[in-house]
């Protein structure tokens, strides 16, 4: 077997590195979403979000992200985290209006690390999330979703200051 020429070896090595890492990609504007670019590093934004959630009287119900599991497989991806946030008062209220609508709870914030060392906070507006159930839940569900819109906006504003 002949050794690979240095150019072929370098190419093979570069392809292997690219196959085990992914570049940071920003979340762009899309229907129903709120996207807030920050100058905060990822961990600082995550810490600030957790604090803002508590200050608003909500709780972090779920938290998941693929970064650590990918690293355990030898794959490097940018930090990202999905943080499910809700409040039991709204859970009980919405459940009384539409059993099906509760599949959407908790409503999620999405934190993504950007290539420049900053992070972005995104979320689907609760009124967008619950809109498919408005016919079933009526004006009371529309009102609850609007209140959640205001609460999520407040949480996001506090977290991204």
- pTM higher than 0.75, yes or no? yes
Token pair for residue 34? 């709120």
Distance of CA 103 to the CA centre of its chain: 17
| Residue-range definition of the domain harbouring residue 69 | 6-160
**Residue 151 located in a structural domain:** yes
Lookup: tokens for 16: 């292997």
Positions of the chain with pLDDT under 50: 7-24
Number of domains in the chain: 1
Does residue 15 lie in a domain region?
A: yes
The confidence score (pLDDT) of residue 27 equals 78
Contact 119, 42 (CB under 8 A): yes
pLDDT in tens, 83-118: 999 999 999 999 999 999 999 999 999 999 999 999
20 in any annotated domain: yes
Q: What is the CATH number of the domain that holds 133?
A: 3.30.310.70
Q: Is residue 50 part of a domain?
A: yes
Q: Tell me the CA distances in angstroms from 73 to 14, 20, 76, one per residue in order.
A: 18, 9, 9
Residue 143 counted as domain residue: yes
Asked if residue 39 belongs to a domain, the reply is yes
Residue 1 lies in a domain: no
In a domain? residue 16: yes
């Amino acid at each position: 077997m002949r050794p690979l020429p240095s150019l072929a070896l370098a190419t093979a090595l570069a392809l292997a590195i690219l196959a085990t890492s992914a570049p940071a990609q920003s979340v762009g504007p899309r229907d129903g979403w709120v996207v807030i670019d920050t100058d905060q590093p990822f961990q600082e934004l995550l810490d600030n979000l957790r604090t803002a959630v508590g200050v608003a009287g909500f709780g972090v119900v779920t938290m998941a992200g693929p970064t650590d599991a990918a690293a355990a497989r030898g794959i490097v991806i940018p930090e990202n985290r999905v943080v499910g946030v809700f409040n039991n008062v709204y859970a009980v209220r919405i459940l009384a209006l539409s059993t099906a609508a509760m599949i959407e709870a908790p409503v999620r914030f999405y934190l993504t690390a950007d290539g420049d060392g900053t992070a972005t906070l995104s979320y689907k507006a609760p009124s967008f999330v619950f809109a498919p159930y408005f016919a079933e839940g009526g004006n009371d569900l529309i009102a609850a979703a609007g209140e959640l819109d205001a609460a999520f906006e407040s949480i996001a504003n506090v977290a991204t200051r």
